[in-house]
Amino acid sequence: MAFPIRAITLDLDDTLWPFAPIGARVERVLHDWLTQHCPLTAQRFPIEAMRELRERMYVERPDLAHDFSQLRKLSLVRAMELAGDDPLHADAAFEAFYDERNRVDFYEDTLDALARLAARVPLAAISNGNADLARVGIGAHFAFQLGAREHGMPKPHAGIFHAACARFPFAPHEVLHVGDDIEMDVVGAHRAGLRSCWINRIGAQWPHEDVRPDLQFTTLAELADWLDSTHTMETVAA
């Protein structure tokens, strides 16, 4: 399928890099930091207990469901207070966590594909997570980054998609959103009026009959191939 697009928005976790290895790593790094600097907290809240505390914070603060960073900080403050450590250490503990959170191992095709896409159309990131493009090292490819924390509402709400389109500024139907998550990315973008591209690296089956992605690929490189082909056809037609 070929159709004109003027910009692309991209999901981050599990679209540009796998998140599972990061999620496992950050918990260990944070616990090691606490063991060194806040031993009472590390003793009372080993990894599993800290995870359970954070989940309780999610329940207590539904108003922060879109802000993983703030929930993490509040969880650290609560843990330190309960354990008897100085909660003023929470910011430094979060920084240790956040530094590791932004150490990513890209999918093999990601970096080359990003460069190819950015050479064709402007790119933006739309994410419910808290990765930082500058820390990750790919900020130069993007016109901007819009997170659920900054917007105040996560995907799949239409508002975050519309806010990104307005910042380009292009109409929603002129923007292609690319992501791995069926509901958050593809269905959310479709209902917001954007074109949608499903990056299905794991061979999942599409579950909906009433909504389908405009494009479906197994890698970001295939999307770059499609965009190159589309732009070539547009140049020939012109």
DSSP single-letter state for residue 138: -
The catalytic residue positions are: 11
Is 236 a residue whose pLDDT tops 50? no
**In this structure, is the dihedral angle defined by the CA atoms of residues 125, 147, 58 and 184, taken in order, positive or negative?**
negative
Residues β-bridged to residue 195: 176
**Average pLDDT value for the chain:** 93
Name the region of 197 (left: φ>0; alpha: ψ -120 to 50; beta: rest): beta
Give the C-alpha separation, 216 to 122, whole Å: 20
Rounded to an integer, what distance in angstroms lies between the CA atom of residue 186 and that of residue 197?
A: 7
Kind and range of the H or E run holding 82: helix 68-83
The b-or-e profile of 65-98 (16+ CB within 10 A means b, else e) is ebbbbbbbbbbbbbbbeebebebebbeebbebbb
Domains and their CATH numbers in the chain:
7-17+106-237 (3.40.50.1000), 20-101 (1.20.120.1600)
Using the structure block, give the residue that is written with the tokens 């064709």.
120
State mean pLDDT over 27-55.
96
Q: Give the pLDDT band (50/70/90) at residue 234.
A: low
Mean pLDDT of 202-212: 94
Question: Which of 84-93, 197-206, 229-238 has the least mean pLDDT?
Answer: 229-238
Digit-coded pLDDT (tens) for 61-91: 988 888 888 999 999 999 999 999 999 999 9
pLDDT digits (tens, 9 = 90+) for 96-111: 999 999 999 999 999 9
Give CA–CA dist 125/178, Å, rounded: 9
